[in-house]
């Protein structure tokens, strides 16, 4: 298992390390930022601690319709996060004594979207952050909930219904740069 040091010595740091468990593909990079693809299921492992901590994850889904939630299981406590298109920051509560976080997605990237690559691809995940700052956890959780709500409203609101009812655009022969 590859081990990743977590924290930067600031107030958020729990001076912990986490290990990438099963279900992860090799390191890749996008925009200079490292990430790993997970398949349908993956896990992280960390040392048990006597207080609540939080596992911060930055994850990317290619789906724009909220159809690929991230499910979690930490110390027999299930959780789920709706994911909006692109990069999402989520924070998972890690109860005292927990040593593993299991992750799962219900939808995989269709093979047509990665031809020639036989891997099972779920979501992209940047290096995790394990910390003990409840205020940061609350901020991240609130911001993510607001993004999901905004996406849901945009998809289900009157403007979206109007756009769906319009006829397709008629080509006018003028190229759009």
Complete edge-to-edge strand list for the sheet that includes strand 100-105: 3-5, 17-20, 41-46, 100-105, 70-74, 77-81
pLDDT at 10: 38
- The Cβ of residue 45 has, within 10 Å, a number of other Cβ atoms equal to 15
11 has pLDDT over 60: no
Residue-wise pLDDT for 79-110, tens only, equals 999 999 999 999 999 999 999 999 999 999 99
Residue 87 DSSP class:
E
**Cα distance between residue 143 and residue 138, in whole Å:** 9
- Residue 74 pLDDT grade (very low, low, confident, very high; cuts 50, 70, 90): very high
177 has pLDDT over 80: no
Residue-wise pLDDT for 36-62, tens only, equals 999 999 999 999 999 999 999 999 999
**Cα distance between residue 31 and residue 6, in whole Å:** 21
pLDDT at 3: 39
């Amino acid at each position: 298992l590859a081990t990743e040091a977590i924290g930067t010595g600031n107030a958020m740091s729990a001076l912990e390390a986490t290990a990438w468990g099963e279900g992860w593909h090799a390191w890749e990079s996008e925009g200079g930022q490292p990430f790993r693809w997970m398949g349908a299921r993956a896990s992280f492992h960390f040392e048990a601690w006597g207080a609540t901590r939080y596992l911060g994850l930055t994850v990317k889904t290619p789906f724009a319709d909220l159809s690929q939630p991230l499910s979690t299981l930490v110390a027999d406590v299930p959780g789920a996060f709706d994911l909006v298109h692109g990069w999402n920051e989520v924070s998972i509560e890690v109860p005292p004594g927990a040593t593993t976080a299991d992750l799962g997605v219900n939808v995989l990237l269709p093979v047509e979207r990665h031809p020639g690559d036989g891997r099972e691809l779920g979501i992209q995940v940047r290096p995790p952050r394990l910390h003990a700052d409840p205020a940061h956890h609350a901020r991240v959780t609130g911001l993510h909930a607001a993004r999901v709500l905004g996406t849901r409203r945009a998809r289900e609101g009157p403007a979206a219904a109007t756009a769906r009812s319009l006829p397709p655009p008629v080509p006018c022969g003028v190229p759009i740069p």
